[in-house]
């Protein structure tokens, strides 16, 4: 019996988090068809928002990469960030078994009742930071944020805006792609 020649990364179909009411990006900004809900409409600087709880499946991928397209209401500060976190959960129910004060439903994220956002996100899994440029409003900024290995089947994405500007007042162009990556051996 021969050993496999190589191991490759197999890329699956991305989960696309966006707002159901107005997500309709131009071709150049289209990360895919919306599959899951997060509404980042007008999220202020120094504020955070969480998605609906996601189901990665019983046989989830080994890891996930995260890529974003964001539109801001004003010019963000160059070098400032939008920070993304994963709140893993072993339970499908939105309000059950969530770390860091996450509700599991699309809405504002303020952390636990006794802590700030900065303190509460420390209980979540850090994915990475989208580093902003100082492009004017109307410019859709796209970029890779990071990758993570989920420890549980379910989870909620938390988006913490530290860009220096609010997100745009509509979410036509804004979306987040969470793409599964699995290792496959080939002969």
Instruction: Express each pLDDT in 68-77 by its tens digit.
Output: 999 999 999 9
What is the rounded CA–CA span in Å between residue 38 and residue 52?
7
pLDDT at position 183: 86
Q: Is the residue at 9 inside a domain? A: no
Q: Is the residue at 39 inside a domain? A: yes
Residues 104-145 pLDDT 10s:
999 999 999 999 999 999 999 999 999 999 999 889 999 999
Residues 2-56 pLDDT 10s:
676 788 889 999 999 999 999 999 999 999 999 999 999 999 999 999 999 999 9
The β-bridge partners of 10 are 182
A 10 A CB-CB count for 155 gives 29
H-type alpha helices, the chain: 117-120
Average pLDDT over residues 155-169: 97
Q: Is the residue at 146 inside a domain? A: yes
Instruction: Name the average pLDDT for the chain.
Output: 95
CATH of the domain at 171: 2.60.120
pLDDT at position 184: 87
Q: Is the residue at 1 inside a domain? A: no
Could you give the number of structural domains in the chain?
1
Instruction: Kindly give, in sequence order, each residue whose CB lies less than 8 Å from that of residue 7, ignoring residues fewer than 6 positions away.
Output: 183, 184, 185, 186
Q: Which domain holds residue 93?
A: 14-186
Q: Is the residue at 21 inside a domain? A: yes
Q: Is the residue at 3 inside a domain? A: no
Percent of all residues in the chain with a pLDDT value above 90, rounded to a whole number:
91
Q: Is the residue at 2 inside a domain? A: no
CB 80 within 8 A of CB 164: yes
Residues 76-102 pLDDT 10s:
999 999 999 999 999 999 999 999 999
Q: Is the residue at 61 inside a domain? A: yes
Q: Does residue 187 surpass a pLDDT of 80?
A: no
pLDDT at position 5: 78
């Amino acid at each position: 019996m021969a050993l496999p020649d190589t191991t490759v990364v197999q890329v699956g179909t991305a989960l696309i988090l966006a707002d159901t009411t107005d997500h309709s990006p131009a071709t150049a900004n289209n990360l895919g068809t919306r599959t899951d809900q997060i509404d980042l409409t007008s999220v202020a600087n120094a504020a955070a928002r969480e998605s609906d709880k996601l189901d990665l499946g019983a046989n989830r991928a080994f890891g996930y990469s995260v890529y974003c397209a964001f539109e801001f209401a004003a010019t963000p500060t160059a070098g400032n960030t939008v920070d993304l976190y994963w709140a893993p959960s072993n339970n499908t129910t939105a309000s059950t078994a969530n770390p860091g004060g996450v509700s599991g439903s699309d809405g504002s994220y303020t952390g636990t009742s006794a802590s700030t956002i900065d303190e509460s996100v420390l209980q979540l899994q850090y994915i990475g930071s989208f580093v902003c440029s100082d492009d004017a409003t109307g410019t859709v900024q796209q970029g890779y944020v990071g990758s993570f290995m989920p420890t549980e089947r379910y989870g909620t994405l938390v988006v913490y805006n530290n860009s220096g500007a609010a997100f745009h007042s509509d979410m036509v162009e804004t979306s987040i792609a969470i793409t599964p990556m699995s290792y496959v051996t080939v002969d």
